[in-house]
Amino acid sequence: MLIISCPGSGKTTTLLRRIRNMIRRGARPSEILMVTFTNAAAGEMRDRYAALYGRESGVVFLTLHSLCFNILRMEGLYETTDLLSEHDKRDFLFRTLKGLPGVNDAWELSLSISTEITSIKNNYTDLQTLKPESCEKKTFLTVCKAYEKRKQALKKLDFDDMLLSCLRLLKSDADVLARWQDRFRYIQCDEYQDTNSIQRDILYLLTEKSGNLCVVGDDDQSVYRFRGAHPEIMLDFPKDFPNCTVIHMDTNYRSCQAVVNVASRLISFNKTRFAKDFISERGKSGEIGKALYTPTADRQQEMSCLARDIEARHGQGVAYRDMAVLFRTNRQAALPVDLLLKAEIPCCPAERVTSIYDGWIFAGIRSYIALSTGTGTQTDFLYILNRPQRFLSEEHFRGAEYSLSGLLLSARYLKYGDSWKHEAAEKSIREWMRAFGPGKISFSDSPQKVFSALTGSRGIHYEEYLRSYAEFRNIELTELISEFEELQNDASRFATVGDWLSYAKESSLAVRNQSRIKDKDGIVLSTMHRAKGLEWDTVFVIDVNFNRGHRGGETTSLRGDDPREK
């Protein structure tokens, strides 16, 4: 059975009632398995079922990972101590990346690589033909091979290996397969649009004998492709099982008509999808609601409009906790958090918020300023030695005097190799010292002077560095340029470099503190992924722009000479 369930259509209630109905028709509760996407969802479903029908049911609620681990454990193959935790996996990837040259955002990149490893293993992807999305292929393969070698040395398997091991066991041992097919004769799987290839194959194997598989989801709500999910698997279900029953749940009980209309119109641009007749139950009762788009000139104006509208809704009687601000990535939360703090509006970030002043771009700018003003350290020097990439060896520059003559002296080792490398190094050092040499920047200077030194005609060509790093990380150049321009725009509010740096320190600290101190009565700040399935009276979605989150189209060059050029 395939249930295509639109947002807010009551699929959880439907799944629980279907379980109850199967039991009434003679199914043994202990032979019913409800597969969920997360542990939290499994716990919530278990509790809701118990509240409706009692805890004595015996129905099993598990994630597929938990199911696979239980199969491996009960078949005597693995114990909990054999598992490598996600924390240990991330920690190893992070430490490996920290040791590689040219990596700026090791922590963020470790997350991307970890996620991509999961996607690769869960979809049987061949590493040799793979085109990595997280970074360029050489770095990706280096990290992957080191990680696999580490697991082998520890004799551990991670959560992705666990699925693979379970699948191999079920395929290779007919007795084990038969045992688990008999154990669970009725399987329901929630959020099927976010299933990957290996999860599909495990479910198909377990229900091959009984033919009792019910999958539920909405192909339009697949939001985990970056983790290896393939909504095409759900779309192919009727092809895999031509005689399956298909049920459409097209009525939304959550939103007003205007919201449903906008959502339906937007999602209709998807070319490959199940056709749906998306309607609002509240709309039938005349509740129209509002779906408004407010264009703004820049992010500062957008934040001003956001504060105004939040206060307007609060003045109309809507509690702060019944409002939410949603965004695409967690980095976008810093500006609204800062705004709400200044406006003394309580807020509740759903996850850790990072400021643009915690990013590697600002870290590099701060180090350049520190070295030029004479307050820098050896750590600052080594941090920006190859930012932009100058192909200079840390070993030869460690302890070098921060001056034109000192750096040129340290670069003499290149004379004994290819002459062009020494010429290129000498050119980049001269540009560096011309822009950020000792005394070139002072704390009393305008911040604009710093940005001119970075991207101006006599600067260090920082825009080229951002472009090359975007290529290395396989990300949109606009993401880096947007962050750089946001720093530049924020800095323009201050008369001096010193004032700007003081503000940056205070802002970073305030944002971090707010992440830790969550006001449950405050307005919720969340990524769209984290907000899936939740609901509020009023929702603000920020940075809804025409070109992937960057106003004014895709910028391909930066100039620091004059802000009027932008």
In this prediction, residue 548 carries a pLDDT of 45
In this prediction, residue 563 carries a pLDDT of 30
For 378, phi then psi, to 5°, come to -60, -35
DSSP string, 147-165: HHHHHHHHT-B-HHHHHHH
- Count Cβ atoms below 10 Å from residue 151 Cβ, excluding itself: 16
Tens digits of residue pLDDT in 8-35 = 899 999 999 999 999 999 999 999 999 9
H or E element in which residue 229 lies: none
In this prediction, residue 546 carries a pLDDT of 61
**Residue 403 above 60 pLDDT?**
yes
**Residue 197 above 60 pLDDT?**
yes
Output the domain CATH number for residue 16. 3.40.50.300
Q: Which pTM value belongs to this model?
A: 0.78
Give residue 223's pLDDT band: very low, low, confident or very high (50, 70, 90): confident
**Residue 561 above 70 pLDDT?**
no
Is residue 91 a contact partner of residue 166, using CB atoms and an 8 Å limit? no
Q: Which of 108-112, 312-316, 340-344, 558-562 has the lowest mean pLDDT?
A: 558-562
Tens digits of residue pLDDT in 418-473 = 778 888 899 999 999 999 999 999 999 999 999 999 999 899 999 999 999 999 99
- Count Cβ atoms below 10 Å from residue 345 Cβ, excluding itself: 19
Last residue of a domain, one of 195, 215, 238: 238
Torsion of CA 375, 379, 381, 387, to 10 degrees: -130
Mean of the pLDDT values across residues 398-417? Answer: 91
Average pLDDT of every residue of the chain: 89
- Count Cβ atoms below 10 Å from residue 232 Cβ, excluding itself: 13
User: Over the range 289-310, which residues count as b (16 or more CB within 10 Å of their CB) and which as e?
Assistant: eebeeeeeeebeebbeebbeeb
| Residue 267 domain flag | yes
User: Is the same domain home to 102 and 185?
Assistant: no
User: Is the same domain home to 526 and 453?
Assistant: yes
Tens digits of residue pLDDT in 29-49 = 999 999 998 898 899 999 999
Is residue 489 a contact partner of residue 299, using CB atoms and an 8 Å limit? yes
**Residue 168 above 80 pLDDT?**
yes
In this prediction, residue 566 carries a pLDDT of 28
| Residue 381 domain flag | no
> Which residue is associated with the tokens 């439907």?
14
User: Is the same domain home to 274 and 337?
Assistant: no
Angle between helices 64-74 and 159-172 (to 10 degrees): 60
In this prediction, residue 444 carries a pLDDT of 97
Q: For residues 365 and 243, give the distance between their C-alpha atoms in angstroms, rounded to a whole number.
A: 62
| Residue 534 domain flag | yes
Per the structure, the complete domain to which residue 494 belongs is given by 297-374+439-566
User: Over the range 42-60, which residues count as b (16 or more CB within 10 Å of their CB) and which as e?
Assistant: beebbeebeeebeeebebb
Q: For residues 170 and 160, give the distance between their C-alpha atoms in angstroms, rounded to a whole number.
A: 16
User: Is the same domain home to 69 and 201?
Assistant: yes
Give residue 55's pLDDT band: very low, low, confident or very high (50, 70, 90): confident
Three-point CA angle 175, 181, 183, nearest 5°: 105
| Residue 420 domain flag | no
Q: In this structure, what token pair is assigned to residue 319?
A: 């509690």
User: Is the same domain home to 223 and 317?
Assistant: no
Mean of the pLDDT values across residues 70-92? Answer: 93
Tens digits of residue pLDDT in 130-139 = 899 999 999 9
Last residue of a domain, one of 96, 124, 156: 156
Give residue 554's pLDDT band: very low, low, confident or very high (50, 70, 90): very low
User: Is the same domain home to 106 and 225?
Assistant: no
Q: For residues 90 and 107, give the distance between their C-alpha atoms in angstroms, rounded to a whole number.
A: 8
Q: Which of 327-341, 395-409, 443-457, 466-480 has the lowest mean pLDDT?
A: 327-341
User: Is the same domain home to 443 and 468?
Assistant: yes
Tens digits of residue pLDDT in 348-382 = 888 887 788 988 999 999 999 999 999 999 999 99
User: Is the same domain home to 205 and 283?
Assistant: no
User: Is the same domain home to 43 and 117?
Assistant: no
Mean of the pLDDT values across residues 466-488? Answer: 89
Q: For residues 385 and 398, give the distance between their C-alpha atoms in angstroms, rounded to a whole number.
A: 10
Last residue of a domain, one of 238, 261, 282: 238
Strand partners, 2: 215, 246
| Residue 537 domain flag | yes
- Count Cβ atoms below 10 Å from residue 335 Cβ, excluding itself: 23
| Residue 418 domain flag | no
In this prediction, residue 459 carries a pLDDT of 93
User: Is the same domain home to 276 and 214?
Assistant: no
More confident residue, 57 or 74: 74
Q: For residues 46 and 66, give the distance between their C-alpha atoms in angstroms, rounded to a whole number.
A: 15
Q: In this structure, what token pair is assigned to residue 90?
A: 């991330």
> Which residue is associated with the tokens 């939410």?
324
User: Is the same domain home to 369 and 495?
Assistant: yes
| Residue 399 domain flag | no
User: Is the same domain home to 260 and 364?
Assistant: no
H or E element in which residue 217 lies: strand 213-217
**DSSP E strands, 258-349:** 279-280, 323-327, 347-349
**Could you give the number of structural domains in the chain?**
4
Q: For residues 63 and 59, give the distance between their C-alpha atoms in angstroms, rounded to a whole number.
A: 13
| Residue 152 domain flag | yes
H or E element in which residue 296 lies: none
Mean of the pLDDT values across residues 312-328? Answer: 95
In this prediction, residue 547 carries a pLDDT of 52
Tens digits of residue pLDDT in 254-308 = 888 898 999 899 888 888 899 888 899 988 887 888 888 889 888 788 988 999 9
Residue 391's alpha-carbon distances to 327, 395, 417, 432, 515, in angstroms, are 37, 12, 13, 14, 38
